Structure 1
Amino acid sequence: MATMTQAQRGAVLITGAAGGIGMAAVRRLDELGFRVFAGVRKSSDGERLQREISARITPVLFDITDDASIAQAAEIVTRAVGEVGLVGLVNNAGMIVEGPLELIPTDEIRKQFEVNVIGHIAVTQAFLPLLRKAKGHIVNISAPTGQVAMPYLGALSGSKAALEFVTDALRSELRPFGISVSIIEPGAMQTDIFKKSAASAQQFRQRLPGELLQLYAPALAAVAKALANQRLESPGVVVAAIVHSLTSRSPKTRYLAGRGTGMIAVLRLLPDHVRDGLLLRAFGLANTRRVS
């Protein structure tokens, strides 16, 4: 019965399958009868998915920033699905580089764009032949920062803004082939991504001159407090959007997932100075003293 249902639903590849959103999506799509290929970077993560969710899941070990690794993953999936192709590709892998742009090492900024933008493009290129066979659907996971730049999340905002425009272009370019494209903008989720970004930021800040770091100390403390006090939601709201985009006959081009994401559209319409003021207050930076 499971094999028959999988054949009816089709095959889906999810990158970043070991993370909070990715793992929740793998679980739900497997429950719905999709044949799930779970992109992971470590074999232990693939084993965990099979152990904790289902033995039906097929882990695919690859790094979305490595072209040879992506090509090998595409060969594996192609051999498995054959002429049936893929009904879905969920570009979920991502990372956050946080901090003032002046202090972030350029190699960290390059990594931010490699993972959040170039990696998604490279994976999409590699799997488009399979998506074309099934007239499948591409889902890119973005963030509200792709619509409105957030202070001290400038690198993240830039990468997600780039992903937004890449998605818009793909939607038009792939329409003649019957491939639809959606983007999902989740709010703050109950995952470990901000903990990981904070730990990474702490590591590279230790290499900075103390006097330079001191200039930003009050603002960094305020931003850390604001991020720690975020209202986090279950990844389930993002998974619901993924499922709708993969199963609906008329998937949305853009999904807002989570409380407060609708306010982003309003912020975009405001004059720059008004928007800046609201964001500074939201991050606890409105009363930060000017440095003389």
Structure 2
Amino acid sequence: MATTTQARSGAVLITGAAGGIGAATAHRLDASGFQVFAGVRRSSDGEKLQRDISARITPVLLDITDPVSVAQAVETVTRVIGNAGLVGLVNNAGIIVEGPVELVPIEEVRKQFEVNVIGHIAVTQAFLPLLRKTRGRIINVGAPTGLVSIPYLGVLSASKAALESVTDALRSELRPWGISVSIVEPAATQTEIFQKSAAAAQQAREQVPGELMQLYAPALAAVAKASASQSLENPDVVVAAIVQALTSRRPKTRYFAGRGLRMIAVLRLLPDRTRDGLLLRALGLANAQPIS
């Protein structure tokens, strides 16, 4: 019987590898025999990866929003692998900007797109010459919010929707070189990104005039309650999808990593008003009344 996976080894770059899904992916790929380059923003994060996971991991200082940092990362990786090329690029770095669109500071909107969209494009452009050498693979880490926009996560949803479009375009554009492009859609996972996003959202709200905050106070409380009751997925489920996208003989274009995510496909088919109602009900906002 033909196997659905092929043994692959070689060099893989993972962005946002200091913790969470990125670090877990670095761990799994290193254990599987890949040469792992872990993109981190601080030297201390790279040292921690080597200490806690494996001394074989090569940390790469990489701020995906900084063109100079991206160029230096290419030099670092090339210096190690020479002409061997990359077999995989995992665009995992990301941030979450929470809150109603009206209240999100514009600088936070820009930051969301710089990290979740523009940074991924910049890294992909920079490392494509190395990926062409091996007919490598690109795995973008998206989110279900890119397929169905969630109230009070509108800015995040917009950035992930943009990443969906970029992924679709790249998949066709890079086909002549045999470069596979997949996107992984993780459920909410047990990682520190949610704590960081909540803290950042609170800091941003402190800049908003009190009277404007009061307009949304009941809705924000309801959303916080709904979020607190949400069960979080183990990161290993997401890592397994990333590894599958990297090693499968015929990788899927999209991987859903977590429970209940196939309902997203159903939600996308519903009439807009029906979908809006279901989402508002899920967030405890079905009977929300405006505050004047």
Same structural fold, with TM-score higher than 0.5 when normalized by the shorter chain:
yes
Whichever residue aligns with residue 35 of structure 2, its letter is R
Which 5+ residue runs of structure 2 have no aligned equivalent?
1-6
In structure 2, the partner of 1:143 is 143
1:102 aligns with 2:102: yes
SS in 2 for 1:113: helix
Kept in 1: contact 2:215–2:290 (CA 8 A): no
In structure 1, the partner of 2:273 is 273
In structure 2, the partner of 1:184 is 184
Whichever residue aligns with residue 10 of structure 1, its letter is G
Alpha-carbon shift at residue 8 of structure 1 (Å): 6.5
Kept in 1: contact 2:8–2:247 (CA 8 A): no
SS in 1 for 2:86: coil
CA distance in 1 between counterparts of 2:246 and 2:206 reads 44
CA distance in 2 between counterparts of 1:217 and 1:195 reads 20
In structure 1, the partner of 2:221 is 221
Q: What percent of counterpart residues are identical?
A: 76
CA distance in 2 between counterparts of 1:146 and 1:206 reads 27
TM-score (norm 2): 0.96
TM-score (norm 1): 0.96
Structure-to-structure mapping, 1:103-252, within 5 angstroms? 103-252=103-252
SS in 2 for 1:36: strand
Alpha-carbon shift at residue 162 of structure 1 (Å): 0.2
In structure 1, the partner of 2:79 is 79
Which 5+ residue runs of structure 1 have no aligned equivalent?
1-6
CA distance in 1 between counterparts of 2:280 and 2:286 reads 5
Runs of 4+ in 1 over 4 A off after TM superposition: none
**What RMSD, in angstroms, separates the aligned Cα atoms of the two structures?**
1.0
SS in 2 for 1:102: helix
Alpha-carbon displacement from aligned partner over 1:175-233 (angstroms, at most 9, x marks no partner) = 00111000000011001111111100111111111110000000001111111111101
CA distance in 1 between counterparts of 2:197 and 2:174 reads 34
Aligned residues: 286
CA distance in 2 between counterparts of 1:274 and 1:8 reads 45
1:38 aligns with 2:49: no
Alpha-carbon displacement from aligned partner over 1:71-108 (angstroms, at most 9, x marks no partner) = 00001101111111000000000000000100111000
In structure 1, the partner of 2:89 is 89
In structure 2, the partner of 1:17 is 17
Alpha-carbon displacement from aligned partner over 1:98-126 (angstroms, at most 9, x marks no partner) = 00100111000000000000000000000
In structure 2, the CA distance between the partners of 1:210 and 1:34, relative to structure 1 (3 Å rule), is same
Alpha-carbon shift at residue 290 of structure 1 (Å): 2.9
In structure 2, the partner of 1:291 is 291
Kept in 1: contact 2:185–2:255 (CA 8 A): yes
Alpha-carbon shift at residue 170 of structure 1 (Å): 0.2
SS in 1 for 2:45: helix
CA distance in 2 between counterparts of 1:230 and 1:8 reads 36
